[in-house]
């Protein structure tokens, strides 16, 4: 197209998991929660009136930010509300990279969330990609590499997608220290609700770090992927920088009300997280019993290597799809022999396992 910027011409757009409209498909492909949001979320949406829609919303989602700050033991000045996690990622690129004259770009480890590359492409920011180690762990040399580089933002998904692996606080601290004074470490905690530990301790003043931003989203853990609400946590100076670059009213009044109700109802959320964590272990064991290799995961999905003797991952994905079950297949290095499967309800997981038994022609376990 003659009208667009050259970097847009060169861009391959982000490809999201399929979203069938039929309502019958068992969707285990995009890591949505299998459970609806808390009843209080729907009650909060029901309180929206014509009058509240007539007016502009609170520009920085003050009510939500106060609630999130309380939940996380932070100050509201350390919370930044966005139109879901993806908007935060876009703003981080806008604010902390510098495409001019080949300036500060981004650093990623691969495989990772594919949106990072797309956002870099949109912004014309350079990408330095480092392969993850064998077990999808961050190479111990990465921090040293970053220390000598001109990186504006390093992105770490933790727990990692698509492997589910959790990196230690020490590893994250080392990366942030290597970048301090020059670049920001964005820790993407989209799946932290299902993990044993978060990077929040890196935000305390005694950590001595001023360059850590944590991404959170209500899409996965709160059953609200359709709402589009996420937030960033970090040093007040980082939040102030992001605040300069956001849309004047980047979150709407309905989303703010729903998100505040969701984050205030930690009891409801925790109950659902524990069901998913319980069923994750059952799904992992059941897949292992069928010959899949399934590493430990701290997320709401498993990354399963298909049994070597049977059909390949792509054809299992196709057969499951024909049976009305969607899982995620990545036609990508290191992932072609694997399926990423979201943990569903017990009933959905059992339907998946029964379909796999038919496809693999194994004995029913
Ligand atoms: C889902 C996800 C996000 C954010 O998703 P939103 O729906 O935009 O909040 C960010 N990072 C990773 C790795 C994700 O899987």
Instruction: Compute how many other C-beta atoms are within 10 angstroms of the C-beta atom of residue 185.
Output: 28
Residue nearest to atom 6 of ligand 1 (CA): 85
Residue nearest to atom 11 of ligand 1 (CA): 190
186 pocket-lining for ligand 1 (C-beta < 6 Å): no
CATH number corresponding to 39-265: 3.40.640.10
161 pocket-lining for ligand 1 (C-beta < 6 Å): yes
Q: Distance, CA 157 to ligand 1 centroid (Å)?
A: 10
Give DSSP secondary structure letters for 6-25: HHHHTPPPP-PPP--SSS-S
Residue nearest to atom 15 of ligand 1 (CA): 190
Distance CA 172, CA 187 (A): 8
265 pocket-lining for ligand 1 (C-beta < 6 Å): no
178 pocket-lining for ligand 1 (C-beta < 6 Å): no
Query: Does 159 sit behind a cis peptide bond, omega within 30 degrees of 0 on the bond before it?
Result: yes
- Of the candidates 289, 315, 304, the one whose C-alpha atom is nearest the C-alpha of residue 339 is 304
pLDDT tier at 4 (50, 70, 90 boundaries)?
A: very high
* Sequence-ordered list of residues with C-beta below 8 angstroms from that of 260, at least 6 positions apart, any chain: 44, 61, 63, 64, 67
Confidence (pLDDT) at 54: 98
Cα-to-chain-centroid distance, residue 28:
15
Beta bridge partners of 123: none
Give DSSP secondary structure letters for 163-231: T-----HHHHHHHHHHHTTT-EEEEE-TTGGGSS--SGGGGSGGG--S-EEEEEESTTTTS-TTT--EE
Distance CA 314, CA 331 (A): 8
How do residues 271-299 score in pLDDT, each as one tens digit? 999 999 999 999 999 999 999 999 999 99
Is residue 101 pLDDT above 70, yes or no?
Answer: no
pTM above 0.85, yes or no: yes
Is residue 363 pLDDT above 50, yes or no?
Answer: no
How do residues 15-65 score in pLDDT, each as one tens digit? 888 888 888 899 999 999 999 999 999 999 999 999 999 999 999 999 999
Beta bridge partners of 230: 82, 217
Confidence (pLDDT) at 260: 98
Residue nearest to atom 14 of ligand 1 (CA): 190
Confidence (pLDDT) at 1: 60
Q: Give the chain's mean pLDDT.
A: 95
- Half-sphere CA count of 64, side-chain side, radius 13 A: 32
Is residue 45 within 8 Å of 257, Cβ to Cβ? Answer: yes
Q: Distance, CA 217 to ligand 1 centroid (Å)?
A: 7
Query: Does 329 sit behind a cis peptide bond, omega within 30 degrees of 0 on the bond before it?
Result: no
Helix H or strand E encompassing 361:
none
User: What is the atom index within ligand 1 of the atom nearest the CA of 215?
Assistant: 10
DSSP 29: S
Residue nearest to atom 4 of ligand 1 (CA): 85
DSSP 160: -
Is residue 196 within 8 Å of 327, Cβ to Cβ? Answer: no
The CATH number fitting domain 6-36+267-360, selected from 3.90.1150.10, 3.40.718.10, 3.10.150.10, 3.40.640.10: 3.90.1150.10
Confidence (pLDDT) at 102: 66
230 pocket-lining for ligand 1 (C-beta < 6 Å): yes
190 pocket-lining for ligand 1 (C-beta < 6 Å): yes
Q: Distance, CA 216 to ligand 1 centroid (Å)?
A: 8
219 pocket-lining for ligand 1 (C-beta < 6 Å): yes
**Domain limits of the chain?**
6-36+267-360, 39-265
Q: Distance, CA 51 to ligand 1 centroid (Å)?
A: 32
Q: Distance, CA 33 to ligand 1 centroid (Å)?
A: 13
- Half-sphere CA count of 200, side-chain side, radius 13 A: 16
User: What is the atom index within ligand 1 of the atom nearest the CA of 188?
Assistant: 11
Confidence (pLDDT) at 230: 98
How do residues 213-262 score in pLDDT, each as one tens digit? 999 999 999 999 999 999 999 999 999 999 999 999 999 999 999 999 99
How do residues 153-193 score in pLDDT, each as one tens digit? 999 999 999 999 999 999 999 999 999 999 999 999 999 99
Torsion sign over Cα 219, 175, 233, 80: negative
User: What is the atom index within ligand 1 of the atom nearest the CA of 157?
Assistant: 13
Distance CA 124, CA 365 (A): 52
157 pocket-lining for ligand 1 (C-beta < 6 Å): yes
Q: Distance, CA 316 to ligand 1 centroid (Å)?
A: 26
111 pocket-lining for ligand 1 (C-beta < 6 Å): no
Beta bridge partners of 82: 230
């Amino acid at each position: 197209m003659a009208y667009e910027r050259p970097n847009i011409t060169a861009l391959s757009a982000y490809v999201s998991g399929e979203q069938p409209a039929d309502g019958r498909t068992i969707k285990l492909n995009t890591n949505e929660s299998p459970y609806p949001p808390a009843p209080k979320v729907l009650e909060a949406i029901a309180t929206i009136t014509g009058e509240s829609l007539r007016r502009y919303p609170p520009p920085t989602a003050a009510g939500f930010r106060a609630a999130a700050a309380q939940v996380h033991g932070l100050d509201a000045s350390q919370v930044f509300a966005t139109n879901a996690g993806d908007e935060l990622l876009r703003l981080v690129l806008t604010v902390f990279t510098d495409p001019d004259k080949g300036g500060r770009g981004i650093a990623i480890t691969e495989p990772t969330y594919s949106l990072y590359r797309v956002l870099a492409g949109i912004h014309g920011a350079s990408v330095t990609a480092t392969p993850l180690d064998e077990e999808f762990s961050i190479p111990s040399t990465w921090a040293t590499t970053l220390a000598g580089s001109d990186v504006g933002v390093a992105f770490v998904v933790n727990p990692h997608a698509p492997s589910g692996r959790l990196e230690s606080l020490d590893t994250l601290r080392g990366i942030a220290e290597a970048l301090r004074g020059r670049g920001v470490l964005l820790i993407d905690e989209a799946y932290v609700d299902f993990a044993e530990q978060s990077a929040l301790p890196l935000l305390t003043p005694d950590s001595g770090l001023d360059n850590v931003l944590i991404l959170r989203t209500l899409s996965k853990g709160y059953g609200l992927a359709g709402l589009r609400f996420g937030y960033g946590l970090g040093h007040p100076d980082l939040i102030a920088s992001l605040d300069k670059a956001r849309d004047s009213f980047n979150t709407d009044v309905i989303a703010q009300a729903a998100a505040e109700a969701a984050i205030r109802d930690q009891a409801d959320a925790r109950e659902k997280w524990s069901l998913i964590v319980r069923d994750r272990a059952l799904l992992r064991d059941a897949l292992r019993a069928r010959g899949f290799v399934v590493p430990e995961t701290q997320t709401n999905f498993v990354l399963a290597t298909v049994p070597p003797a049977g059909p390949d991952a792509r054809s299992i994905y196709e057969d499951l799809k024909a049976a009305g079950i969607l899982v995620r297949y990545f036609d990508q290095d290191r992932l072609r022999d694997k399926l990423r499967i979201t943990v569903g309800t017990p009933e959905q997981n059992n339907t998946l396992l029964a379909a796999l038994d038919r496809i693999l022609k194994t004995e029913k376990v």
